Structure 1
Amino acid sequence: MDIARTPSTADGNPQLADAPPEPKEPAIIRREDYAPFAWLVPTTHLDFDLGLERTTVVATLQVERNPAADPSPTIRLNGDGLTLESLSVDGAEHAGWTMEGDDLLITLPGDAHQLQITTIIDPSANSALMGLFASNGMLCTQCEAEGFRRITFFPDRPDVLSSYTVRMEASKADFPILLANGNEVETGDAEGAEDGEERHYAVWQDPWLKPSYLFALVAGDLVARRDSFTTMNGREVDLAVWVRDGDLDRTEHAMESLKTSMKWDEETFGREYDLDIYNIVAVSDFNMGAMENKGLNVFNTKYVLADQDTATDGDFDAVEGVIAHEYFHNWSGNRITCRDWFQLSLKEGFTVLRDQLFSQDMQGEAVKRIEDVRILRGIQFPEDSGPLAHPIRPDSYREISNFYTSTVYNKGAEVIRMMRVMAGEAAFRAGCDLYFDRHDGEAASCEDFVKAMEDGTGLDLAQFRLWYRQAGTPKVEVSLEHEGDTATLKLTQTVPPTPGQPAKLPMPIPLKIALLDRETGQHSGEQLVMLDAPSKTLRFDGFAKAPVLSINRGFTAPVSIERTVPRDDLVFLAAHDDDSFARYEAMQELMVGVLLDAVNGTGDAQAGRQAVATALRAILTDEALDDSMRGELMLMPSQTYLMEQMLTAQPGAIHAEREALKAYLGRELAAELHALYERAEAVPFGMSQEARGARKVKTQVLIYAAASDPAKAAELAAQQYAAADNMTDRQGALMVLCGLEGPERDAALADFYERYRGNPLVIDKWFALQAGSLHPDVIAHVKALADHPDFTLRNPNRVRSLYMAFAASPHAFHSESGAGYSMIADLILALDPINPQTAARFVSPLGRWRRMEPGRAALMRAELERIAAADSLSRDTYEQVSRSLG
């Protein structure tokens, strides 16, 4: 994760500043060049004298030659914009050092030495939010991937593991709470400063070896919700969720989520927590969602604070899922970490799968699986088919922060899920146990994980390793023929070319299938079919009539299924398939086909709409469905997903036809939708599946009403907004009103702002709802909101709430005038000097230019070229732009 250069401090020292401009072509780092580091660092002692504008860091490193590496008399310690105050080797000044760029190179004569290095940094000037930075009067760190080098000189790479002791000293008034990794071993008063201020100190020790990216420190005026957890072997663990005063009453859900995830990991994976303390700290300025630092997780406040009035059901789920994800990292990421950053999916893909399985158990498997696949298709599939495509284990990078992607995380999880499907749950658990036992305390590789799975499950995964090496979403062509009493299934796979990988080998693809009797809707059992060749033909006897194929049930493989299916069969599957995902898939496939036919001017548009209405009516009136699932089945395919289904995307036409179908369904099914809304409205607030499902379908009904009868929808949404006793209902109503004209919209927006103006997370919603709305003047709204007093480029949450919501709204972003493209390009250029990591995240929407019709494609490319021509782009943004241009 690259760090922006920030202005000099008042005393003239160039802390994180005054470095030469970034090179136009940063060096390429290649996986094949990996070599073990020449020196080990068994112990690291860090002594901090903390201040918002001046922090002194004294690092004492015990170093010794690494017998597993090629010998070198020189140790390279990475730095990033640091000022070296002093350096000693074995207690004496040492002249044998040089600087190479930002790195400190020290020549060491013997096999073991003690290095002591003093640096001074200015956390308040660190707008990039990497390393040690200030956030509203507190100090905190973010070191993954390469932020520790902004604190002190160090071999800042994940395969250098060390035992850390940290001493922090600070003003007791400014920083009453001092936290770091591990267990607190000493506290006390320290000598006051010259002005007589009270000072104190704390010493923390982490007994477990860890890489520098897992180092964490937090100092500030915080309060804690405290609890405890007794592990399966009787260890009593003190738990604390630290927040600012005033936020404590919104931390109960986070604490309960933590205790639930600790118990679940013991029961499901046999993993027990290994320290006496587990701390979570909520920070308002944070580039990520959260960070799994050993024993001291630092979280974006978005994933900690939640209550009925300020958080939606989705927010509650997100808090629970992210809390679990970071906790699960204690084993899949901390106890076993990455050998190098190319292995990032080793910890992230595996941990995403673990948090998905946890959330399935907490929320219900069917709906959670659909949600996960929707995210995969909405973000990762486009990534896989665009200029930024890369394998889940990349071969090279210029800036590692650009590879914290949906491919590494979400596709990485799907690849490991496939192993679980092929092995079965019991054998998969055996493979996981072997992996944890074999590599505990090590910096491992993806190959180590696959080998443990192979040895633990008995699977032959030689061909399966292609999933780690090849980018792109496999396409599986499917046909089902029937003759006599035999059904013949033909499967053919292709993996499309991606940048740097023009030709691909066939990959093993596990597909769960069932053949349904078209009269009864029943089947004789589910089968797992392995497509491990370019094509495969399977025959099934005993079918006097042609069956209906249900394929990729449960989404067992992250592939695109391409088949020609009669609409009647899709309507049948949407109504009768007993696999929840397959039922959802049939409904999506039906709507995609109808919408693309309308865009392309093919097929009978009216017949297509009627088929969708028939299927949706069956869903609305199916009394056996719970509303959580019904809400998923009511969702229309996203415009982004629809664009992915076209060789040349036509955003304007897709938006128009999607809205037209929505309006048709709203009119055609008005009675059923109204009845559903009335029934759901009668369900009182609660966190039960029934109550959550009721809130979900109410919002979906309002969406259909807004397209078919805007005046009625505005009236109904305004009533729901006014009567809401929870954020889910209030936000759902406001979302619909934001896309409409009229006094109801203005009144609700004004009320929402006044009601929550002191709550940054909820005001983020206020920005996002307007920026992502279907209102025809949304571009003008976003420009006005950028000048709002509450908007700032220095808070990543606020930037994302406005501009990412806008960029993710295709109808506005893809405005025919190109105004949406230039707005995002302007943002990138303004944000890159402040926070390059966040700025670079906005490049990918423009990078889809090759998929657009010629007019829009030219406008998008021109904006990318304008960004590329700017002086001193960060490595983060430079890499994304150059790859997007090709």
Structure 2
Amino acid sequence: MSLQTTEARKATYLKDYRKPDFVIKKVELQFELAEDCTLVTAKLHIKKTATNNNASLVLDGKKLQLLWLKLEDKQLTQDAYNLTDTTLIIKDVPEEFTLESLCKIFPHNNTALVGLYKSRGIFCTQCEATSFSFITYYLDRPDVMAKFTTTIIADKTKYPVLLSNGNKISETKLANNKHSVTWEDPFDKPCYLFALVAGDLDFIEAVHRTKSGRDIKLLAYANKGKAQKCEYALKSLQRAMAWDEKVYARECDLDMFMIVAISDFNMGAMENKGLNIFNSKYIFANANNNLDTDYQNIEAVVAHEYFHNWTGNRITCRDWFQLTLKEGLTVFRDQEFSTDMGQGVLKRIADVRALRSSQFTEDAGPMTHPIQPKSYIEMNNFYTITVYEKGAEVIRMLQPILGKDGFDAGIQLYFKRHDGMAVTCQDFVNAMSDANNIDLSQFMLWYSQDSTPHIAIKDSFDETTSTYSLQITQYCPASKAQPIKQPFHIPLKVGLLDTQGNCLQTVLHGEDTKSTSHMLHVKQRNQEFVFHGVTKKPIPSLLQNFSAPVKIIYQYNQQQLITLMLHDADKFNKWNASCQLAKTIIFDLIVDMRKDKDLSVPAEYLTAMAEILQSNEDFGLIAEMLMPPSEQSLAEDMEPLILPKELHRAREFFMLEMALSLQNNLEETYNKLNTNKPYSVNPQDIYQRKLKNTCLYYLSLIPDNNELSVLQLKNANNINDQIAALRATLNSHNAQERSERLQQCYDKWHTDEQLIDTWFAIQANNKHNNCLREVQALINHPAFNYKTPNRLYALIGSFINNLAKFHDISGQGYTFVADQIIKIDKFNPAPASRFARAFLNWQRFGPIRQELIETELQRILAINDLSDEVYEIVKTALDC
């Protein structure tokens, strides 16, 4: 057995970036698709840009069979170039020349689902970040931008639809039942945006008329018989196009825009120019087979990929360390789009829930990195929630810093200044700075410093001067790479309430006008802010609308949090106060549990929740306030160690006490909302169902109280309510009943892949003691397929997120997941590396669990030919 050392795994560093010695201005590709292999002919028009006349041409290429190579139409002998496992090197090339190659590749054997691969009879591509080099030899870097012409040749019966980027310029019938289609993309693009799809596909179409009066043809492709399931996605695309024109003045620059649904896809979607490829779970939808959240996700992901047309394609990244330039900005844009499409503050709540449960954990672990990382071994490991979602929060902070008009002016200057270019995060911030004549050098620390800033706040009230002061200290935990951090520029939105819950109008020192909320610009380690016109000590509403991705440390008492829950005008902070109080109660329960004290939930909290439940306010907001933080989010705040079993028990006790205390209120609300009206995906109906099903779940926690959930499972007129009922019925302690209901649902849903993914996930998330045994059995279920990433994430990913069961003190969960990582890594490293992240925070647990996890990490690391993706995660975990 041979272990690859750290030295064998070469890291790439941001500081080492240099401009390419060569550029490619034009690319002519030809693909001859066949069942056993594909022949790829590439003709590259190359120009030397290096000042060094002796610079060699170094092209990237992986797992390619080079059949011949021509320079200026002259075939080269093997002694004229050098081939390695990852490069093709040619010395003594002219200043400007054409290079033509013929390579053989094997898409049908490509289980890693990168480059060109075959999924259930469909050829498709995934080239980001550096997987175009699995297709042909090329300068596989985003700052090399070229115009592509692509010809695809294939059997006309098996592959009647042949798609690529740009405009179709010719279609030809060939001998032997073959045909060819040629596509020409008029825009320069990096090779990661190249796309090809070939198969026997159906499609639906629509038209979007732009504000300037142009008609753009929209096409959605899918497997035979499934195109109608793309209808909602196509309508989402139309809404996204109209929104981008209205909000950002960005029109689509193409005459035709295509989207394609693929069943086997590692990513969520890919923004290839004019030919977006999607994981089918983010395209397929109909009322009989999809959850409300599926519709919301489809709308958001379709919009995200379309928005990339400007923030990612027209303006792309100079290098992959700039990934957040396109992803952070585009996530921010899709979040704002979803908010405007009817989700409102509930979108903000959902985003912050995810940030706190996943991104804050990443920030606190050994893989912590700034939104612009400094180095990587495998770039695919840095498509992270930090780069994406924290990156979006960094963009969002520019709005309160610059003002909405200033933010808009900066964005427009960015588009104007950098259209058609590959640029950096600094270029983006420079545009924001220049448009507003403001120094943003301190703000740039958000791009370069890792970890989550903490804001510690103390307050004081002076009755004689009618002033209220906040003393603020900001600090950021040390990390291995950055033991000392500089102060960030943090926009902190604050409001003040009196003890009856009325919002106070005050004047912030240094300003002239009264307001119920103020934006504090925290820029120093220690800073004081004074509010005038305060006659009694108020309750501060801190970090309204989550104005910055930070942790607030302020000692609220129970009554203050209840006041905020009931009365804060900032809806986000109403929800946030409910989370803070629920977290405090759960942590107090853990303390009492460990001291063998009697357990209880404060009556004042339960009374407040009853009032909220009866308030008839926003249904979605009430549903969110009823649910305590997830175990993952709570675990992030546990100190000094995470106690999975105790945390699970305390949270379950908390929810059961809620159910028992509020049973009458929950039943009344459920019955009021259970109208069984026809299914609709408008926001009001979605949130009505959300509250109804939240009540149902709580009621199912009460022993022997499954009647409502069983009835809803039987009578529901939509799949959303059926699945909610199934989840509720599985709270039953009767194993036979649970098994029967699961089998009934499988028999009903087995022909729909997305529903069966949900069916697997529900079981992997169950709280019963036999959870791991059930998951192990499901591995052998005929519907489980290791080669389908969605199925892997549904079962293994869901089990990993089942905190108490994965971290069972026996260590069996660790061994199971390690076994899966080792097995999956051999054919598809992408999901394997995601699962390996589950072990990153292993030192946050007690010594028994630490020893068990370390054993599994060492076992994974000892595997010969471990992928770079998994190696980097595991080695980083062990080195922390």
Judge same fold: TM > 0.5, yes or no.
Answer: yes
Question: Are positions 1:719 and 2:719 aligned together?
Answer: no
Q: CA deviation at 1:24?
A: 7.3
- Judged with a 3 Å threshold, the aligned counterparts in structure 2 of structure 1 residues 52 and 739 are, in CA distance, closer, same or farther, namely farther
Q: CA deviation at 1:776?
A: 2.2
Contact 1:24/1:878 (8 A) holds in 2: no
1:531 equivalent in structure 2: 522
1:666 equivalent in structure 2: 659
1:7 equivalent in structure 2: none
1:4 equivalent in structure 2: none
1:734 equivalent in structure 2: 726
2:512 equivalent in structure 1: none
Please give the alpha-carbon distance, in whole angstroms, between the structure 2 residues aligned to 1:791 and 1:687.
30
Q: CA deviation at 1:72?
A: 4.3
Q: SS where residue 464 of structure 1 aligns?
A: coil
**In structure 1, what residue type is equivalent to 2:43?**
T
Contact 2:700/2:709 (8 A) holds in 1: no
2:60 to 64, 73, 78: 78
Q: SS where residue 794 of structure 1 aligns?
A: coil
2:828 to 826, 832, 835: 835
1:655 equivalent in structure 2: 648
2:573 to 574, 577, 582: 582
Q: SS where residue 430 of structure 2 aligns?
A: helix
Q: CA deviation at 1:71?
A: 4.8
* Residues 759-791 of structure 1: per-residue CA shift (max 9 Å, x gap): 111111111111112222111110000010111
* Residues 572-623 of structure 1: per-residue CA shift (max 9 Å, x gap): 1000001011111100000111111221339998675323312211210112
Please give the alpha-carbon distance, in whole angstroms, between the structure 2 residues aligned to 1:500 and 1:151.
36
Q: CA deviation at 1:231?
A: 1.6
Question: Are positions 1:794 and 2:778 aligned together?
Answer: no
1:547 to 535, 538, 545: 538
- Judged with a 3 Å threshold, the aligned counterparts in structure 2 of structure 1 residues 856 and 274 are, in CA distance, closer, same or farther, namely same
Q: CA deviation at 1:814?
A: 1.1
Contact 1:225/1:251 (8 A) holds in 2: yes
- Judged with a 3 Å threshold, the aligned counterparts in structure 2 of structure 1 residues 607 and 791 are, in CA distance, closer, same or farther, namely closer
1:11 equivalent in structure 2: none
1:488 equivalent in structure 2: 469
**In structure 2, what residue type is equivalent to 1:600?**
V
2:13 equivalent in structure 1: 30
2:632 to 634, 640, 655: 640
- Judged with a 3 Å threshold, the aligned counterparts in structure 2 of structure 1 residues 520 and 159 are, in CA distance, closer, same or farther, namely closer
1:826 to 819, 822, 830: 819
**In structure 2, what residue type is equivalent to 1:41?**
I
The 5 A counterparts of 1:129-528 are 129-192=113-176, 198-484=177-463, 485-524=466-505, 525-528=516-519
Question: Are positions 1:592 and 2:583 aligned together?
Answer: yes
1:852 equivalent in structure 2: 845
Please give the alpha-carbon distance, in whole angstroms, between the structure 2 residues aligned to 1:499 and 1:527.
36
**Greater shift in the superposed pair: 25-34 or 732-741:** 732-741
Contact 1:718/1:744 (8 A) holds in 2: no
TM-score (norm 1): 0.95
**In structure 2, what residue type is equivalent to 1:740?**
S
**Greater shift in the superposed pair: 657-666 or 849-858:** 849-858
Q: SS where residue 443 of structure 2 aligns?
A: helix
Question: Are positions 1:694 and 2:688 aligned together?
Answer: yes
* Residues 834-867 of structure 1: per-residue CA shift (max 9 Å, x gap): 1011110011111111111222122112211111
**In structure 2, what residue type is equivalent to 1:115?**
L
Q: CA deviation at 1:870?
A: 1.2
**In structure 2, what residue type is equivalent to 1:562?**
I
Please give the alpha-carbon distance, in whole angstroms, between the structure 1 residues aligned to 2:228 and 2:716.
21
1:8 equivalent in structure 2: none
- Judged with a 3 Å threshold, the aligned counterparts in structure 2 of structure 1 residues 606 and 750 are, in CA distance, closer, same or farther, namely closer
Q: CA deviation at 1:555?
A: 0.3
1:615 to 595, 608, 611: 608
**In structure 2, what residue type is equivalent to 1:512?**
K
1:746 equivalent in structure 2: 739
Please give the alpha-carbon distance, in whole angstroms, between the structure 1 residues aligned to 2:159 and 2:710.
45
Question: Are positions 1:762 and 2:755 aligned together?
Answer: yes
Please give the alpha-carbon distance, in whole angstroms, between the structure 2 residues aligned to 1:453 and 1:651.
45
- Judged with a 3 Å threshold, the aligned counterparts in structure 2 of structure 1 residues 691 and 45 are, in CA distance, closer, same or farther, namely same
Contact 1:490/1:536 (8 A) holds in 2: yes
- Judged with a 3 Å threshold, the aligned counterparts in structure 2 of structure 1 residues 615 and 853 are, in CA distance, closer, same or farther, namely farther
Contact 2:491/2:519 (8 A) holds in 1: yes
TM-score (norm 2): 0.96
Unpaired runs of 5+ in structure 1? 1-19, 193-197
**In structure 2, what residue type is equivalent to 1:319?**
I
Q: CA deviation at 1:23?
A: 8.2
Please give the alpha-carbon distance, in whole angstroms, between the structure 1 residues aligned to 2:9 and 2:315.
30
2:31 equivalent in structure 1: 48
1:17 equivalent in structure 2: none
Q: SS where residue 838 of structure 2 aligns?
A: helix
Please give the alpha-carbon distance, in whole angstroms, between the structure 2 residues aligned to 1:479 and 1:617.
31
Please give the alpha-carbon distance, in whole angstroms, between the structure 1 residues aligned to 2:675 and 2:212.
46
Q: CA deviation at 1:427?
A: 1.4
Contact 1:571/1:614 (8 A) holds in 2: no
**In structure 2, what residue type is equivalent to 1:561?**
I
**In structure 2, what residue type is equivalent to 1:153?**
Y
**In structure 1, what residue type is equivalent to 2:681?**
M
Please give the alpha-carbon distance, in whole angstroms, between the structure 1 residues aligned to 2:8 and 2:476.
31
Question: Are positions 1:567 and 2:558 aligned together?
Answer: yes
Please give the alpha-carbon distance, in whole angstroms, between the structure 1 residues aligned to 2:20 and 2:521.
41
- Judged with a 3 Å threshold, the aligned counterparts in structure 2 of structure 1 residues 706 and 206 are, in CA distance, closer, same or farther, namely same
Q: CA deviation at 1:483?
A: 2.9
Please give the alpha-carbon distance, in whole angstroms, between the structure 2 residues aligned to 1:776 and 1:565.
37
Please give the alpha-carbon distance, in whole angstroms, between the structure 2 residues aligned to 1:248 and 1:109.
49
Q: SS where residue 841 of structure 2 aligns?
A: helix
**In structure 2, what residue type is equivalent to 1:815?**
D
Q: CA deviation at 1:363?
A: 2.3
Structure with larger RCO (C-alpha < 8 A, sep 6+): 1
* Residues 706-753 of structure 1: per-residue CA shift (max 9 Å, x gap): 33x1321x2221111111111211111112223433354233211211
1:876 to 833, 844, 869: 869
Q: SS where residue 561 of structure 2 aligns?
A: helix
Contact 1:214/1:294 (8 A) holds in 2: yes
1:706 equivalent in structure 2: 700
Please give the alpha-carbon distance, in whole angstroms, between the structure 1 residues aligned to 2:164 and 2:800.
37
Please give the alpha-carbon distance, in whole angstroms, between the structure 2 residues aligned to 1:141 and 1:215.
8
Q: SS where residue 710 of structure 1 aligns?
A: coil
Unpaired runs of 5+ in structure 2? 506-515
Q: SS where residue 826 of structure 1 aligns?
A: helix
* Residues 413-467 of structure 1: per-residue CA shift (max 9 Å, x gap): 0000001121122211111111011111111000000101111233321101100
Q: CA deviation at 1:185?
A: 0.8
Q: SS where residue 649 of structure 1 aligns?
A: coil
RMSD: 1.6
1:10 equivalent in structure 2: none
* Residues 325-349 of structure 1: per-residue CA shift (max 9 Å, x gap): 0000000000011100000000000
Please give the alpha-carbon distance, in whole angstroms, between the structure 2 residues aligned to 1:143 and 1:71.
31
**Greater shift in the superposed pair: 351-360 or 786-795:** 786-795
Contact 1:170/1:200 (8 A) holds in 2: yes
**Greater shift in the superposed pair: 497-506 or 571-580:** 497-506
2:46 to 50, 58, 63: 63
**In structure 2, what residue type is equivalent to 1:554?**
N
Q: SS where residue 519 of structure 1 aligns?
A: coil
Please give the alpha-carbon distance, in whole angstroms, between the structure 2 residues aligned to 1:731 and 1:670.
22
- Judged with a 3 Å threshold, the aligned counterparts in structure 2 of structure 1 residues 349 and 246 are, in CA distance, closer, same or farther, namely same
Please give the alpha-carbon distance, in whole angstroms, between the structure 1 residues aligned to 2:529 and 2:868.
50
